[in-house]
Structure 1
Amino acid sequence: MFETLNPAAPDGILMLMSMFRDDPRAEKIDLGVGVYKDATGKTPVMQAVRKAERRLHETQATKSYLGLAGDTVFNELMIGLLMGDKADRTRLRAAQTPGGTGALRALSDLLRLARPDATVWVPSPTWPNHVPIITASGLTTNIYPYFDAYTNSVDVDAMLDALEQLPAGDVVLLHGCCHNPTGADLAPEHWKTLADLMVRKGLIPLVDIAYQGFGEGLEEDAAGVRILAETVPEMLVAASCSKNFSVYRDRAGAAIILGRNRSEADIAYSQLLGVGRCIWSMPPDHAAACVRIVLHDDDLRANWQAELESVRLRMLSLRNGFAEALRRQSNSERFDFIANQRGMFSRLGLTQTQVMELREKHGVYIVSDSRFNVAGLPGDRLDDLAAKVISIL
């Protein structure tokens, strides 16, 4: 049986991790892997999550199943975190999933059931796993223009012009905030224009929001999702707790649907739970339970928000510092865009040859499209790193 198979294409980021691990140079720098790192290079457990874990350990009396939807209190709290207090809860439903990736797969399967002939349009560029997840559900994908590499910003006009050409019923994948891999986000006024276009053209938004709290702030980063929810009749949202709660390996996320009315939301939700039943049956509990404890306890929630804000401000500081160091080393404004972008990622605009040279000559590891992890920047060696970047241009 297995002799009919060909080797799977290697994952570029996982290969980069292996290469970095095997590199003996003491001064090597890992800017590739997409996890938050503190000043010591560690990915810490957040204080509020640690306290929630202790409370869970002390009070949890059983490991029995919770049901297809997982932790229903967690689900309601996630709706509140994403949609705010003014959201129409009668039309919103959420199911717990194994991370944001699980939410994307479940929502893709739901789309295949509801609109099997629809095309899912993804921005260029986008997270490399988006297309494989969506096509694995049997859906067709295509791309729309998003990022202008010349200005290092969103090409809003090209994006809107392209979406104007799409047929009713097609799906548009959007990054809720902190675009991966570019760090270039839509402004609030662009979200409003986009929402109106979606209604007028009969398009369905599929929002992937994996970094809420990493960009402009916890509430500010949800602005785009909320503008859409207030405007469009239907939408899908894949939310991740991996980054903003730092529960990466424990896998907690939510698949959220907005229906045109209560009845259609209930029907779609029943199908969403059926999708989950066929993939993972029951979602894992530990991380979602910890998130639920944090969000449900005023003191823990305040502690979490304060730590999340410190994470956001640290990344902003690193962005500004790196942009300034690159300006000094290059004697130009070429890299000033880094300070204006948001989230954990930006791209340096290097060729693959330059990326390889940076790795081989200087032990600086970034992804082949020149995406780098802002949180991995060495705060005490920014000028040295900037000099290495400039040396290979």
Structure 2
Amino acid sequence: MTAATDLADTVSVPAMATGRDSELRNRAQVRGWLYFTALVLLVLVVVGGATRLTDSGLSITEWAPIHGVIPPLTEVQWQEELERYRQIPEYQLVNKGMSMAEFQFIYWWEWGHRFLARTLGLVFAVPLAFFWLAGRLDRRLKWPLVGLLALGGLQGFIGWWMVSSGLTERVDVSHYRLAVHLCMAALILGGIVWVARAIAPHAPDLKPTANSSLWAGVIAGLVFVQIYLGALVAGLDAGWVYNEWPMMGEGLFPTIMWEPTLGWRNWVENPAIVQFAHRTGAYALLLVVIAHAISCWRWAPGSTHARRAATLLALVVGQALVGIVTLVMEVPLSWALVHQGLAFFVLAFAVAHWRAMVGPIPLLDGRPHRHA
């Protein structure tokens, strides 16, 4: 009886090791797929920013999720697309007399944005199905990933909902709907990074303080709010109202631009006040990140958490500098796209830092998944 028990124990040890190694390999593969998906999403966001800043978003006036993947291929098809565009207010009031070459320029930006969105859907859905059916997906990740896939589908509808707001009575899209569209992209990116970091190796360092994870979450939330305010700035063309820094005209607050009839809506509809809110949000974010970095280095000097807090501070400072340059140069397309893309990179890093504070999902054998 004792010999049989010893034999069972001897066999179970390598079996457990093999199972753990297999789980680690599966996690690494899933993590690689999620990081690649996040990269594609980041590219999509930058192309979306270019689509907005080149006023290309209304060039395709129909929502055709399937056959819309094929662009016009003949002169007749191009003429049909241009004729549809001629029916909307943007053409009639802003771009009347636009040549075919000018139309094709804005068309390709919008088509490229939609094509990348479709590609992203496949990049996420196909590997998800493969990992699920192959049994390589941790059961604790299945429904969160399905939720992200559902958000991606909803995002496609939100994109058309946004575009449709500029097809009848307006010459541009609703800045509210633009902000929802961009924030949904930010939410999806944050969710992807959160899940990926949950199954990544974590350093054995303890949190600097009991509240460190809370403040890391607050920072991620503030970055999300800044992205929302940035979307309002882009939607209202508010970046061109004041192009000096740190002043806004003759003071730090553009009081002469306040419109009493708008009341509190000045904060979301008045371009000057929206730009002020975006600036103020940046200052608040920077102060919180500085305080967080100081706290991490004070209570856990040299730890992984402290180093990441310092890196996050460097990213936020860099993003602020890019924002200032974009502003004073009167929003050139290249700098504006760097500013938007870096905002999403800062969000991804902030979410990863937050998840590292919370800790990983344990392996199924119950042992922690940590770096040596």
User: TM-score w.r.t. structure 1 length?
Assistant: 0.21
More helix by share: 2
The structure that has the greater radius of gyration is 2
